[in-house]
Amino acid sequence: MLNKTTNKHYNLEADKSLYAAIDLGSNSFHLIIIRKQEQSTQVIDSHKEMIRLRSGLDKNGYLTEKAFTSGIECLAKFGQLLNNIPSSQVRAVGTNTLRNAKNSHDFLAQAQEHLGHDIDVISGEEEARLIFLGVSHGLPNNHKQHLIIDIGGGSTEFIIGKDFKHKHLSSTEMGCVSISQLFFEGCEISNSSLTKATNYCRRILKPHSYKLIKKNWDDAIGASGSIKSIGNMLKENNITNGEITLDGMLNIQKTLIKAGSIEKAINQGLKALKEERIPVFIGGLIILIAAFQELKISKMLVSDHALREGLIYDNLGRLNQKDVRESSVTALQTKLRADDKHAAKIATTAKNLLDDFKKTEKLKDQHLPLSQLLSWAAKLHEVGMSLSYKRYRQHSAYLVKNSELAGFSQQEQQILATIVQNHQGKFNNLAFEHFSKKQQIKLITLTLILRIAVLLHRNRKNNNIDLHLKTDKQTFTLFFNQQWLDSHPLTCEDLEAEAKQFEKLGFKLYIKAI
């Protein structure tokens, strides 16, 4: 469980016990830094700024200059606090608005430069998984099944699970910012606008409600600023003891209708609402009322943990060989009936080739787990055969890019899809243009290594291949046992053809006997 400290000016040392998580939400940006000591973790610093990215989207779906600049300036401040934390122990993610903004790519390029670390844009389902992980670590281990709701600026996540294992994840396109903008742009509140907003939210939730209700749960837990604000308001105005109920929220709603706006309600005595929360409070309230009505929730408790804590615990798992991404790859292989034994042989050969490559060439992992990416690409390169052998490379790439793979960011899935698409046949240079120049060099190298590994195992026999790779800048030289070459004439012919593909990319491939 994360224990908070009030020491805002903790002297950060270059220390591998430090971990950081950054949540670039649609309403606010959050940073937490924790220190891990043996089996416990403690928050030693945190920072939050109300950036309101979602409010900064123009009518064409682009971040305005003001929102763009505010976000970059905030991340420059965050970067100052991250200077002495190992990069592998920093996780930064973007959510709904950065999933949807048309100039998200431009923003991320500058944001990563100022932050000093990569920023992953995650899917709604991945966001839900991380929220569940964070909230679960703050709950007693009582084997109860929980319904967890997190209201963000642009989306709301619904999760059901127990004992750190989720049974349902869903993300809906409604958030406190978007609903406030859509129905309460002028900040005026009426019975008519509240009814329209509530019905709108219920319609969005309805396709998910049957599955959620069918799963059952023992208690409901709320996370995020909107839900915390509602809980605080109910407590401070003596409506409930802090737990959230439908009657309590409807009581607040009546007060708002009578006043005509949140500002007037506050002036008339409504307590416990921070100024920064005023512009988006009504949207969060309406979403939660709709959820209570649609899912028949009786009461809800409030959690102090959410996405940021989930990022911390997920990263701790990755660094301790408990990476959920491995399970996701295996699950997709099983679902699509891929030949896992054949894929494992290719992954082993590819990894050996990469190890040889690193002996003579600099290829640092930094933020990209190169060995893992190569292994995952090898394991998934044939999943498209479940649809059709014809054009299976394109099918595989599509499935890898668009499947829900827990633990993976959208960028990681794009990288894997690009490598998989080019593991054989004509090389598509354009597929790599989505990435930075530095990334392109690394990804093309990984792809070339995978192409060699796939080619060497074309006969699909369960055999080990005695070979070594030596590199010199853009020259690859493969060394084989002469006897092996003599007994594999088709492979030799394939390698000669592959050398022509290498040439088109400015690389050279040589085969030598030893």
Note the pLDDT tens digit of each residue in 13-50. Answer: 557 889 999 999 999 999 999 998 877 788 999 999 99
> What mean pLDDT is predicted for residues 324-338?
94
Grade residue 339 by pLDDT with cuts at 50, 70 and 90. very high
pLDDT at 14: 58
**pLDDT at 408 > cutoff 60:** yes
Helix axes 392-402, 410-421, angle to 10 degrees: 170
Q: Is the model's pLDDT at 11 over the cut of 50?
A: no
408 and 476 in a common domain = yes
Which is more confident, 358 or 141? 358
Q: Between 310 and 473, name the one with better pLDDT.
A: 310
Mean pLDDT score, 326-347: 94
Domain end point (choices 74, 91, 122): 122
Question: What CATH number has the domain bearing residue 402?
Answer: 1.10.3210.10
CA of residue 295 relative to chain centroid, distance = 27
Taking residues 347-361, report their average pLDDT.
90
What is the pLDDT confidence band of residue 129, given thresholds at 50, 70 and 90?
very high
Residue 435 pLDDT level (bands cut at 50, 70, 90): confident
The Cα 176–Cα 262 span in angstroms is 14
Domains in the chain, number: 3
Buried b (16+ CB within 10 A) or exposed e, 408-431: bbbbbbbbbbbbbbbbbeebeeeb
In a domain, 314, yes or no: no
| Residue 318 domain-assigned (yes or no) | no
More confident residue, 2 or 291: 291
Residue 105: pLDDT over 70 = yes
In a domain, 133, yes or no: no
Supply the CATH number for residue 163's domain.
3.30.420.150
- For residue 396, the cross-strand partners are none
Which tops the pLDDT comparison, 68 or 83?
A: 68
Specify the pLDDT at position 430. Answer: 86
pLDDT of residue 40: 78
What integer pLDDT is reported at residue 365 of this predicted model? 59
The reply to whether 134 falls in a domain is no
Report the pLDDT value the prediction gives residue 10, as an integer from 0 to 100.
42
Q: Where are the beta strands (DSSP E) in 278-377?
A: 299-302
- pLDDT class of 5 with cuts at 50, 70, 90: very low
- What is the average pLDDT across 135-144? 87
Residues 100 and 35 in one domain: yes
Residues 173 and 112 in one domain: no
357 and 269 within one domain: no
Q: What is the mean pLDDT of the chain?
A: 91
Domain of residue 474 covers 323-513
Query: Domain holding 82: CATH number?
Result: 3.30.420.40
Residues 42 and 83 in one domain: yes
Phi-psi domain of 308 (left: phi exceeds 0; alpha: psi -120 through 50; beta: other): alpha
Residue 313 covered by a domain:
no
Supply the DSSP symbol for 8: T
Q: Which residues of 168-206 are buried (b: 16+ CB within 10 A; e: fewer)?
A: bbbbbebbbbbbbbebbeeeebeeebbeebbebbbebbe
d(CA 495, CA 483): 16
Q: What is the pLDDT of residue 498?
A: 94
Regarding whether 466 and 389 lie in a shared domain, the answer is yes
The residue among 122, 183, 181, 195 whose CA lies nearest residue 157 is 122
pLDDT tens-digit readout, 143-169: 899 999 999 999 999 999 998 899 999
Q: Point out the domain boundary residue: 273, 303, 333.
A: 303
Q: Are residues 406 and 493 both part of a single domain? A: yes
For the cut 60, the answer to whether the pLDDT of residue 185 exceeds it is yes
pLDDT (0 to 100) of residue 133: 94
Residues 290 and 368 reside in one and the same domain: no
Model pLDDT, residue 462:
62
438-456 average pLDDT score? 93
Integer Cα distance of 21 and 316 in angstroms: 11
The answer to whether residue 173 sits within a structural domain is: yes
Three-state secondary structure string covering 95-148? CHHHHHCCCHHHHHHHHHHHHCCCCEECCHHHHHHHHHHHHHCCCCCCCCCEEE
pLDDT of residue 428: 87
Same domain, 328 and 410: yes
N-term to C-term CA, the chain: 58
Whether the predicted pLDDT of 406 surpasses 70: yes
pLDDT at 1: 43
Judgement on whether residues 334 and 297 belong to the same structural domain of the protein = no
Distance CA 468, CA 355 (A): 10
| Consecutive H or E run containing 506 | none
Instruction: Measure the CA–CA gap between 458 and 12, rounded to whole angstroms.
Output: 52
**Out of 61-70, 100-109, 360-369, 397-406, least confident range:** 360-369
Model's pTM, two decimal places? 0.84
**Band of pLDDT at residue 470, cut at 50, 70 and 90:** very high
Flag whether 260 is in a domain. yes
398 within some domain:
yes
Query: Is the predicted pLDDT of residue 9 greater than 70, yes or no?
Result: no
AA letter at 113: E
Q: Within this chain, do residues 204 and 164 fall inside the same structural domain, yes or no?
A: yes
* Mean pLDDT, range 484-498, rounded to an integer: 91
Distance CA 290, CA 246 (A): 9
pLDDT of residue 368: 65
pLDDT at 507 over 90: yes
Instruction: Report, as an integer, the average pLDDT of 226-247.
Output: 95
Q: Are residues 346 and 493 in the same domain?
A: yes
